[in-house]
């Protein structure tokens, strides 16, 4: 499978302060995103995620390294013909309506008049802005702006969609809708490259991830390869028995009313605890094994780096 | 198509700027007040009306070009709308040209509106439309086009306040640089004279676009000067825009 994005040894320094002092933001980033996959780009604040995206889009000139978008060098504007981009906090001309703004965006891609009308109507429906299409963007809520941003990113029917924090500032319902749209991209064969702080979402929709810390990629790979199925611990909620009943079996996390929450790190102890509850006439409320999540890997990687 | 789209959005944005209408109001007031001045002054009333009218169009046109032009590119960067634009298959030169043409279109409409008021007042006094007045206005417009390019050049790397000061300085130097020719004539040959001559070549000479005195007083205009002034304006504007593109292409949008 061909690469939709190929980044090699990307380096960028910024000069900051009154007496300019160079600060290395990207220290030789290398990774690639294959066509058709959904790729999550994670990292703590200030790790270099947005700088990487800005280099990719030609907003920032890298000091060294090469970037290819769908087989073309990123320095050629033609490389962005099949690319759609949603910035982190969408800033648009707020005096335009969503319809006018999408028409303007379509003009930048040279889309013909007839096709433009049809595409705009379809996109407004897709992002759920049909009823607000003729309102100026300054009257939009943050979530609505995010939707308008997503629509403008799709106006050229892109093969590659780059989304910088697409789920930020959305309510749970809006987040689900945007997540569903991203999943639909995958079904349509589009490549999605996106950053997000909401790791559960990344875990739900990404095929591969890369974690960037301090301007370096510290982990990269398929989500299934990174997140193991190993059970970290089991949480047991019991009622009707005092916490002392379980001393030596597991860690008592809380005891409120007659409810006790236990954390068992040893899987072999789970059966023992269940039997004990049964024997002492207690009541088992919940038993949930906790497997490793992307968040665990992320926290572990970031703290170790 | 892309340049047209950006020019269109720039025109739409400039149209919403209240400062444009404020300046237009004062320009119109200046043109209308020329009638009052004509009544109070001894001499040819029509000449006073023409003189004050053309000066108003020129002054307020320049203020429009500077005050709106210097904010154009800066606002895109400050409001971060540029992120969405430059992520499209767009050359940075196309962006600068689109911005420039959008403001030129705005100034064309405003100059046209000011010219209409001015010509109507002159017509009320002379009962004829003088072609020479239209020529003077056309060259004022050419000067505005050059000032717009200068405003966009400064706007591509500086804040609106500094850009306005730089552009205003360019305008003032442009109207005073003819004095260098007098200095050159009086200087003895040598390195100093060569330096001043070099300076005179680099600095703009906006008097090339000033036909107000000749038109108002009916003085003869040497043949060929219209073409040379026109070419001077076009070449200088192209040079300034080229410089703006060069600077803008090197910028990082952090």
Q: Tell if the CB–CB gap between A104 and B89 is shorter than 8 Å.
A: no
- Comparing C-alpha atoms, which of B212, B210, B148, B140 is closest to residue B175? B210
Helix (H, G, I), strand (E, B) or coil at A179: helix
- The pLDDT score that the predictor gives to residue B79 is 84
Please indicate whether, in this complex, the C-beta atoms of B88 and A80 are within 8 angstroms of each other.
yes
Mean pLDDT of chain B: 89
Residue A60 backbone zone (phi > 0: left; psi -120 to 50: alpha; other: beta): beta
pLDDT of residue A2: 79
B223: pLDDT strictly greater than 70: yes
Question: Is the pLDDT confidence value at A18 over 80?
Answer: no
DSSP element (H, E) containing A142: helix A142-153
pLDDT in tens, A36-52: 999 999 888 888 899 99
Within 13 Å, how many C-alpha atoms sit on residue B250's CB side?
6
Query: Which residues of A are less than 8 Å from B8 in CB distance?
Result: 104, 107
A229: pLDDT strictly greater than 70: no
Reported confidence tier of residue A1, pLDDT bands at 50, 70, 90: low
**Within-domain flag for B53:** yes
Give the number of A-B residue pairs with CB atoms closer than 8 Å. Answer: 81
Q: B81 lies in which domain range?
A: 2-160+238-250
Q: Any chain B CB within 8 A of the CB of A24?
A: no
Whether B87 and A57 lie within 8 Å, measured CB to CB: yes
**Inter-chain CB proximity A54 and B5 less than 8 Å:** no
CB atoms within 10 A of CB B75: 14
- Does residue B167 lie within any of the structural domains? no
**Does residue B244 lie in a domain region?**
yes
Band of residue B188 on the pLDDT scale cut at 50, 70, 90: confident
> Given an 8 Å threshold on Cβ–Cβ distance, is B85 in contact with A108?
yes
Task: Check: pTM over 0.80? Answer yes or no.
Answer: yes
Residues of chain A positioned with their CB less than 8 A from the CB of B82: 59
**Tens of pLDDT, residues A162-202:** 998 888 777 888 888 888 888 888 888 899 998 887 788 88
Q: What is the pLDDT of residue A12?
A: 92
- Band of residue A65 on the pLDDT scale cut at 50, 70, 90: very high
Q: B229 pLDDT band (50/70/90 cuts)?
A: very high
Cβ <8 Å between A77 and B12: no
pLDDT band at B18 (very low <50, low <70, confident <90, very high): confident
Concatenate the DSSP letters of all residues of A209-224 into one string: EEEEETTEEEEEEEHH
> Which residues of chain B neighbour A77 with C-beta distances below 8 Å?
88-91
How many Cβ atoms are within 10 Å of B6's Cβ, its own excluded?
A: 24
Residue B30 belongs to a domain: yes
Q: Is residue B112 part of a domain?
A: yes
Q: Could B81 and A105 be called an inter-chain contact, meaning their C-beta atoms sit closer than 8 Å? A: no
Is B197 a domain residue?
no
Contacts of A109 in chain B (CB under 8 A): 88-89
Residue B1 has a pLDDT of 80
Percent of chain A with pLDDT over 70: 99
- Cross-chain CB nearest to A77 (options B5, B90, B252): B90
Q: Cβ of A37 under 8 Å from any chain B Cβ?
A: no
Alpha carbons A34 and B78: distance in angstroms, whole number: 34
**Residues in Cβ contact with A94 at an 8 Å cutoff, skipping those fewer than 6 apart:** A136, A137, A138
Statement: residue B248 has pLDDT above 70: yes
CB of A60 within 8 Å of a chain B CB? The answer is yes
Are B83 and A95 inside 8 Å of each other by CB? Answer: no
- Examine the pLDDT at A297 and tell me if it is beyond 90: no
The 10 Å Cβ neighbour count of residue B205 is: 20
Chain B CB contacts of A96 under 8 Å are 9, 12
The whole-number pLDDT of residue B129 equals 82
Rounded to the nearest angstrom, the minimum Cα separation between B27 and chain A is 27
Contact assignment for A60 to B9 by CB distance below 8 Å:
no
Give the nearest partner residue to B16 out of A60, A95, A110, using CB atoms.
A95
Residue A113 has pLDDT above 70, yes or no: yes
Query: Which of the pair, B214 or B66, is modelled with greater confidence?
Result: B66
pLDDT one-digit tens code per residue, B148-159:
999 999 998 888
Closest-CA residue of A relative to B4 is: A107
Residue B248, token pair as written in the block? 């803008």
Tokens describing residue B31:
């043109």
Query: What residues contact residue B33 under an 8 Å CB cut-off, 6+ apart?
Result: B52
CA B79, B82, B83, B84 dihedral sign is: positive
Kindly tell me if the per-residue pLDDT of A224 is higher than 80: no
Average pLDDT over residues A53-74: 92
Is A14's CB within 8 Å of B254's CB? yes
The whole-angstrom distance between residue A120's C-alpha and the CA centroid of its chain comes to 26
* Average pLDDT estimate for B47-52: 87
Edge-to-edge strand ranges of the sheet holding A38-42: A83-86, A160-164, A191-195, A38-42, A208-213, A216-222
- Structural domains of chain B, count: 1
* Radius of gyration (C-alpha) of chain B in whole angstroms: 20
The residue that leads in pLDDT, B155 or A296, is B155
Residue A304, class by beta-carbon neighbours within 10 Å (0-12 exposed, 13-18 middle, 19+ buried)? Answer: exposed
Mean pLDDT in residue range A66-85:
91
Name the nearest CA neighbour of A202 among A229, A173, A171, A178: A178
- Percent of chain B at pLDDT > 90 equals 46
CB interface of B with A, residues 14-33, below 8 Å:
16
Mean pLDDT of the B125-148 span: 91
Domain extents in chain A:
3-226, 231-292
Q: What angle do CA A234, A236, A239 make, to 5 degrees?
A: 175
The 3-class secondary structure across B30-72, one letter per residue, is HHHHHHHHHHHCCCCHHHHHHHHHHHHHHHHHHHHHHHHHHHH
Q: How far apart are CA A287 and CA A227, in angstroms?
A: 22
Whether residue B88 and residue A104 make contact (CB cut-off 8 A), yes or no, is: no
Return the CATH fold of A231-292.
Alpha-Beta Plaits (3.30.70)
Tokens (6 digits) for B115: 């010219």
Pairing outcome for strands A208-213 and A216-222: antiparallel
Residue A146: predicted pLDDT:
86
Q: Which residue in B2, B3, B50 sits closest to B211, CA to CA?
A: B50
φ and ψ of A94, to 5 deg? -75, -10
Dihedral angle of Cα A198, A201, A205, A209, to the nearest 10 degrees: 30
Q: What are phi and psi of B51, to 5 degrees?
A: -60, -55
* Average pLDDT for B230-251: 94
Inter-chain residue contact B13 with A85, CB threshold 8 Å:
no
Residue B8 has pLDDT above 80, yes or no: yes
Q: Please name the member of B2, B89, B250 whose beta carbon is closest to the beta carbon of A78.
A: B89
Amino acid B192: pLDDT: 86
Give the percent of chain A with pLDDT over 90. Answer: 36
Q: How far is B135 from chain A (nearest CA, A)?
A: 36
Does the domain formed by A3-226 have CATH 3.40.50.300? yes
- Write out the E strands in A17-114: 21-34, 38-42, 64-69, 72-73, 83-86
Listed by number, the residues of chain A in 75-94 with a beta carbon closer than 8 Å to a beta carbon of chain B are 77-81, 83, 85, 87, 89-93
Flag if A54 and B84 touch (Cβ within 8 Å): no
């Amino acid at each position: 499978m061909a690469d939709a994005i190929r980044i090699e040894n990307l380096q960028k320094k910024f000069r900051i302060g009154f007496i300019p002092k160079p600060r290395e933001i990207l220290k030789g980033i290398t990774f690639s995103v294959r066509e058709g996959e959904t790729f999550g780009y994670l990292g703590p604040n200030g790790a270099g995620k947005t700088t990487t995206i800005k280099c990719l889009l030609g907003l920032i000139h890298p000091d060294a390294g090469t970037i290819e978008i769908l087989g073309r060098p990123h320095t050629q504007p033609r490389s962005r013909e099949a690319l759609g981009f949603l910035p982190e906090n969408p800033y648009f001309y707020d005096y335009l309506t969503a319809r006018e703004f999408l028409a303007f965006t379509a003009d930048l891609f040279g889309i013909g008049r007839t096709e433009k009308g049809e595409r705009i109507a379809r996109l407004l429906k897709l992002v759920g802005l049909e009823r607000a299409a003729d309102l100026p963007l300054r009257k939009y809520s943050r979530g609505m702006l995010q939707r308008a941003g997503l629509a403008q990113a799709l106006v050229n029917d892109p093969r590659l969609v780059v989304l910088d924090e697409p789920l930020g500032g959305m309510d749970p319902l809006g987040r689900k809708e945007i997540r569903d749209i991203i999943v639909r991209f995958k079904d349509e064969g589009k490549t999605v490259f996106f950053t997000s702080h909401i790791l559960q979402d990344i875990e739900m929709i990404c095929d591969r991830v890369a974690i960037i810390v301090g301007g370096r990629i510290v982990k990269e790979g398929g989500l299934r390869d990174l997140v193991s199925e190993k059970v970290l611990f089991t949480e047991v909620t019991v009622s009707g028995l005092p916490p002392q009943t379980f001393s030596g079996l597991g860690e008592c996390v809380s005891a409120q009313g007659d409810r006790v929450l236990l954390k068992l790190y040893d899987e072999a102890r789970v059966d023992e605890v269940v039997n004990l509850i049964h024997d002492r006439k207690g009541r088992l409320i919940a038993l949930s094994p906790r497997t490793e999540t992307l968040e665990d890997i992320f926290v572990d990687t970031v703290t170790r780096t | 198509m892309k340049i047209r789209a950006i020019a269109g959005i720039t025109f739409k944005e400039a149209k919403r700027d209240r400062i444009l209408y404020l300046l237009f109001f004062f320009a119109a007031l200046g043109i209308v007040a020329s009638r009052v001045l004509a009544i109070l002054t001894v001499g040819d009333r029509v000449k006073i009306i023409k003189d004050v009218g053309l000066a108003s169009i020129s002054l307020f046109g320049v203020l429009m070009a500077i005050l709106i032009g210097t904010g154009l590119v800066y606002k895109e960067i400050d409001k971060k709308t540029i992120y969405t634009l430059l992520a499209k298959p767009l050359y940075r030169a196309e962006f600068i040209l689109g911005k420039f043409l959008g403001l030129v279109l705005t100034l064309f409409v405003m100059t046209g509106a000011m010219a209409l008021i001015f010509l109507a007042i002159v017509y009320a006094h002379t009962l004829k439309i003088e072609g020479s007045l239209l020529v003077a206005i056309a060259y004022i417009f050419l000067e505005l086009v050059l000032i717009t390019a200068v405003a966009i050049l400064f706007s591509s790397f500086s804040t609106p306040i500094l850009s306005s000061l730089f552009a205003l300085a360019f305008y003032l130097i442009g109207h005073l640089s003819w004095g260098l020719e007098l200095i050159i004539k009086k200087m003895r040959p040598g390195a100093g004279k060569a330096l001043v001559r070099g300076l005179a070549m680099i600095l703009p000479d906006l008097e090339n676009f000033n036909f107000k005195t000749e038109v108002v007083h009916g003085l003869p205009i040497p043949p060929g000067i219209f073409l040379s002034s026109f070419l001077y304006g076009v070449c200088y504007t192209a040079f300034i825009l080229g410089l703006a593109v060069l600077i803008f292409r090197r910028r990082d949008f952090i």
